[in-house]
Amino acid sequence: MSKLFHACSLLISLSLLNSVQAEILCTAIKPTQQKLCVIFSIMPDMATQQWFVESASGQSRSLPNMSAAMLQVSDIAIDEQGQWLAVLSVGEGHPILEVFALKSILQNSGKAQWEINPYPGWLSLEGWQAGILSLQTDRLLSGKVYDSSDWPEAETTQTYYLNPKTGKLSRK
């Protein structure tokens, strides 16, 4: 049996016994047969996050140096070419989007290339298309992602496209 199966079994047991909130998210690493997964758990006095890769045969490899900005990971998405990883994590109800070069994550050495913190607003991932990340938010984002503070509130939901190679945000 795979480590993923054992981890899920352990989380279910802990949830039933100790009031642990636990979740697992996985996404396919295209074009390979592998999956990238994260398990995060929140206990009354501790929280953890564990990232790993699972092969098609069920073998797992831990990624101990990978960590999202906020503990609760709510969405993960890998682009079609398997080059970029988008991670949406939440802390105290506030989301942060990070974009990583997937190759560096799989080599267990990656840090976020780009980060969008829409505080006090919200943000959601809409997916990848042709290597460009689509996202929605209630903030008026502009320019490059390097400065993600003090973005004004929009009157309606806004859709943006992030080019992970350059960090440039656009409306189309």
Per-residue pLDDT tens digits for 97-133 = 999 999 999 998 879 999 998 888 999 999 999 999 9
Of residues 16 and 160, more confidence is placed in 160
Give the number of other CB atoms < 10 A from CB of residue 3. Answer: 15
Inform me whether the pLDDT recorded for 43 exceeds 60: yes
Whole-number Cα distances in Å, 169 to 77, 84, 90, 138: 18, 16, 21, 15
Would you place residue 165 in the very low, low, confident or very high pLDDT band (cuts 50, 70, 90)?
Answer: very high
pLDDT of residue 1: 46
What ranges do the domains of the chain cover?
Answer: 3-170
Would you place residue 55 in the very low, low, confident or very high pLDDT band (cuts 50, 70, 90)?
Answer: very high
CATH code assigned to 3-170 = 2.40.128
Would you place residue 44 in the very low, low, confident or very high pLDDT band (cuts 50, 70, 90)?
Answer: low
pLDDT of residue 16: 45
pLDDT of residue 23: 86
Would you place residue 148 in the very low, low, confident or very high pLDDT band (cuts 50, 70, 90)?
Answer: low
Which strand ranges, in their side-by-side order, compose the sheet holding 132-139?
123-129, 132-139, 153-163, 168-170
Full-model pTM: 0.85
Average pLDDT over residues 144-166: 82
Average pLDDT over residues 52-69: 91
Query: How confident is the prediction for the chain on average, in pLDDT?
Result: 85
In one-letter notation, the amino acid at residue 30 is: K
Inform me whether the pLDDT recorded for 15 exceeds 80: no
Strand partners, 29: 34
CA distance 44 to 59: 31
pLDDT of residue 36: 96
% of residues, the chain, pLDDT over 90: 51
